[in-house]
Amino acid sequence: MKLPNIKILDEKDKLLKTTSKEVNFPLSKEIKQDIKDMITYLKMSQIDEEREKYNLRAGMGLAYVQIGKPQRLFVIVEELEDGSFKDYIVINPKIISQSAELCYVGEGEGCLSINREVEGIVPRHARITVEAYDIDGQKYTIRVREDIAIAFQHEIDHLNGILFPDRIDKKDPYKNIDLMREI
């Protein structure tokens, strides 16, 4: 695999605090190539040899705005138990339902745009249903749970100009931890 030429914006970049615009179909060749590059980058970041070779931080999701293009699109690459990957291409997503149950990432959420330790937990819904479009402009509905639901919510936040530290209570970073399930 060849490392794509992707520059991920740092949290100090004001573009990350803006609301991304809807994506129009059909997708341009540039957007389709960017989607491929984002998926390749995320896969490489999850493969130990590639991550070490290119000094990458492991990541499973990337919003289009994180590479400087504020449009409502993100990709998630999930490594499966057999070592293969499942790719999610999510365009113009809308959360249409969510569980009452809340959960959080035990070791803390991370983000490829945030290059520092962040103390605290981010309350997320344990299950969500999302309506979105695929790369061909076909509408679909997907129900995701646990770590993938957290990743979807994290990336949708990016599309709305929200970074995960914004969701941590500044005065009490572990607020209501006893009311949520650790993932």
Active site residues: 155
Other Cβ atoms less than 10 A from the Cβ of 159: the count is 23
Instruction: Look at the block and give the residue holding tokens 């690459």.
Output: 77
Q: Checking DSSP bridges between strand 85-98 and strand 127-133, what pairing results, if any?
A: antiparallel
3-class secondary structure per residue, 84-98: CEEEEEEEEEEEEEE
| Spatial contact of 71 and 92, defined as CB atoms under 8 Å apart | no
User: How far is 148 from 78, CA to CA, in rounded Å?
Assistant: 8
Cα–Cα distance for residue pair 87/29, rounded to 1 Å: 19
